[in-house]
Chain A
Amino acid sequence: MSVLSPNRDGRHASARARARTAAGGARPGAPRAGRPSAWWGLPALLFFSLFAVLPMGLVIYLSLTDWGGLGSPQFIGFENWTRLAGDPVMHQAILLTLLLTAGSWAMQTPIAMLLGVWAAGRQRNRAVLSAIFFVPLLLSSAAIAIIWRALLDPNFGPLAQIGPMIGVPGLDILSSESGAFLVILFVSGWQFIPLHTLLYQGGARQIPESLYQAAEIDGAGRYRSFWHITLPQLRNTITTSSVLMIVGSLTYFDTVLIITGGGPGHATTIVPYLMYEAGFENYEYGYASAVACVLVAVATLASLLMVRFTGFGSMRSTREGM
């Protein structure tokens, strides 16, 4: 993750500096040899400032105002923030978002890992089945949500036929609070497990065959090989996949909008949906900005914690000493 590029040519920096002096003479204040000058970072920095830092600053400012998109924002101090602190819908939304994030991780990780490790093997039909598992990843989120909405329709969807067959006539999942939430959890899993399967497949393919051969000689079965070789070797993949999953769940939105619209009541109103509702349904940009700030804080906190506790920042090769 370092910005410093290694000395690819293997020469010592001083030797290179001498070479350059000989070629044309160093300008005063010229960058130290071996590293690209700070100017190289400028395009990225500009882009990041313009599209991330500046908007974030503006959102913080807007969160202190009352603005409906017309006229100029009225400064109202911390009114939005006190309202946010006392808003039961916001409290519930934070709880639901955390539940969704934790639930998604707990559901998707084991399934994706097992599928990925399986798909990394050389079994018969593996390629065909992997291709089929991969399909949800190719569909757009909106299409997936519309399909599931139709499948779960209690009167005209397959549910209306399947219900009586399994002895539950009037089977209707979306109208109960917990049912609607589980549907969101399930559909997000259905959509994203293929991506994580792909990550784990790649990770599992990287594990040297010799480790398994050595284990086999020592008498390890398939189960023990998985626990003692595959799992530790996938350490970095697990971290990558988890980071993607958690940040993705925190900003999950489109499926909720299409399948439940945050309902029934507020049963699936997660923080990003609440932000959308406040900003683009109710035209309360000030309040929506305050919600957005909370989301930034939660997402930043989550990624900081992950980096700290997974050792993502100091990620080491899993093949040291091999």
Chain B
Amino acid sequence: MIPHRAGAAGAFALLLFATTACGGSGGSGGSGGDGELTVMMYQDSLAVVQKDAAKRFNEDHDAKAVINEVPADGYEDKLRTVMGSGQSPDVFFNWGGGSIEPYVEQEMLLPLGATLQENPEMEEAFIPSILEAGKVNDTQYGIPLRGTQPVMLFYNEQVFEDAGAEPPESWDDLLDLIDTFKDEGVTPFALGGATPWTEQMWMQYLVDRKGGHSVFQRIQNGDPEGWRDPAVLDAAETVQDLVERGAFGDNFASVSYDEGAASALLSEGKAAMHLMGSWEYSTHLADAEEFAKGDLGYTTFPALPDGEGNPQAVVGNPTNFFSVTDDGETEAEVDFLKQTYSEAYVQDMVENGEVPTTTNSEEMIEKHAPNPDFATFQYEMVRDAPTFQLSWDQALPRSVAQPMVTEIEKLFNEQVTPEEFVDNVAALQ
């Protein structure tokens, strides 16, 4: 008898191990104070920009910046563990919004309002809609550190040519294209429904175009009744209309974005269009180089008929942010933040294929970007956007974000009606 109990109990011992590790004194951060400034950084090929910045910083400062690269998979879990353990890093990489809200609530972060006032050049350096996304409850907590990642409509130029079609400029164009491509035997829109955060992008644009930026802002500010705005129901109905028209094909629910299936549908010409973040260009460049260089087209999400939203508004990930943990001594940290808009830093970003979020970067992009056309398109799209809505699942607290994404998944799978969707997400807290 004992062995079974031990088996079941062992499983929970594991769970507890993980949870107590979060509250215990373990962790790998290492706080400053001895002239060392730890920077927790998301590990990927672009982190070289921050490593270079640390080198430049260390040349003319007493404090030594140390970049601590943490693997991308599970970055947020590890961040939460070190933050909860009292071993927090001095500066850390994040997505703004809901991703730092728990730390703001615990008063662990340094409000940067005063810093911006003392250093007006810092505020002027960034595109306003981007800097705005670094705020939680109207207080600045994050300084942009990376390129921007707006969501846009990618399309396969070859497939459009074969069908004699033009990229959509209006909602009616888009609906016509669904029929055009269905007749051609091509899925109109690739969609990775097994990874439902990609379905979320459709809802984000539809709500923004229909009711404007303020609809989701109200929800983001903690009012779940905001989901009952007519624009949300309207967007949900539009989603099911699209599904019924066959806009996403029959099997999108088992297509995974993470395994590259959705992207491959577009690059292999099995789908005509794909609504995705701007990183999709690099994805195609890595997996289907010829397609990325020859046939990959991109355009903006069209306006909706009777939509109140600004058709130039953008959704996606405005950028990533550096936030500073408040341990009383934050002078060196603030100095380090100034690196993020230095000319060397911005040039480094552009050369690595990123589109910077600093103002007046057109010339830099033309001169140094690996693909100036795409980079300029993206830069102008973001610069001219009146608002830039952070991805919903990053903007909301985690306890709400995940269930919300699952509700969106059910909406696309027609497991719930649009009315039930609204009721279900409004009930989340």
Contact = CB atoms under 8 A, between A and B. Distances in A.
Q: Lowest 4 A-B CB distances belong to which pairs? A: A175-B253, A55-B16, A174-B254, A52-B9
Contact of A281 (B102, B265, B402, B410): B402
Given A155-B270, A283-B399, A296 B8 contact: yes
Nearest to A293: B12
B136 to A, nearest CB: 15
B406 A265 contact: yes
B413 A265 contact: yes
Contact of B409 (A265, A280, A283): A265
Nearest to A261: B194
Contacts of B81: 69
A307 interface: yes
B103 A70 contact: yes
B399 A265 contact: no
Interface in A53-104: 53, 55-56, 58-59, 62, 68-72
A281 B6 contact: no
Given A52-B12, A55-B12, 17 more contacts: A70-B83, A72-B23, A152-B254, A153-B259, A153-B261, A155-B270, A156-B264, A175-B252, A264-B254, A265-B413, A277-B402, A282-B398, A283-B102, A283-B399, A296-B8, A303-B5, A313-B1
A282 B254 contact: no
Given A69-B19, A282-B403, A303-B8, A263 B251 contact: no
B261 A59 contact: no
Given A52-B10, A283-B80, A149 B259 contact: yes
A154 interface: yes
B409 A300 contact: no
A44 to B, nearest CB: 9
A52 B13 contact: yes
A174 B253 contact: yes
A166 B90 CA distance: 61
5 contacts: A59-B15, A62-B19, A71-B84, A292-B12, A303-B1
Contacts of B77: 280
Interface in B181-198: 193-196
B399 A172 contact: no
Contacts, number: 162
B102 A70 contact: yes
Nearest to A58: B16
Contacts of B80: 69-70, 283
Given A263-B409, A265-B413, A155 B265 contact: yes
A144 to B, nearest CB: 16
Interface string B345-374: 000000000000000000000000000000
Nearest to B270: A155
A48 interface: yes
A48 B8 contact: no
Interface string A255-296: 000001111111000001001010111111100110010011
Chain B, interface size category, equals: 35 or more
B16 A59 contact: yes
A289 B12 CA distance: 9
A227 interface: no
Nearest to A62: B19
Interface string B15-28: 11111101100000
B270 A265 contact: no
Interface of A: 1, 48, 51-53, 55-56, 58-59, 62, 68-72, 149-150, 152-156, 170, 172-175, 177, 243, 247, 250-251, 260-266, 272, 275, 277, 279-285, 288-289, 292, 295-296, 299-300, 303, 307, 312-313
A184 to B, nearest CB: 13
Among B18, B261, B270, B401, chain A packs the most CB atoms within 10 A around the CB of B261
A177 B398 CA distance: 26
A272 B193 CA distance: 23
B50 to A, nearest CB: 25
B11 interface: yes
B19 to A, nearest CB: 5
Contacts of A71: 84, 106
B251 A175 contact: yes
A296 B399 CA distance: 24
A51 B254 contact: no
B12 A69 contact: no
A143 to B, nearest CB: 14
A253 to B, nearest CB: 9
A173 B254 CA distance: 8
B15 A154 contact: no
B104 to A, nearest CB: 11
Given A247-B4, A265-B415, A51 B10 contact: yes
B7 interface: yes
A243 B16 CA distance: 25
Contacts of B265: 155
B255 A55 contact: no
A51 B8 contact: no
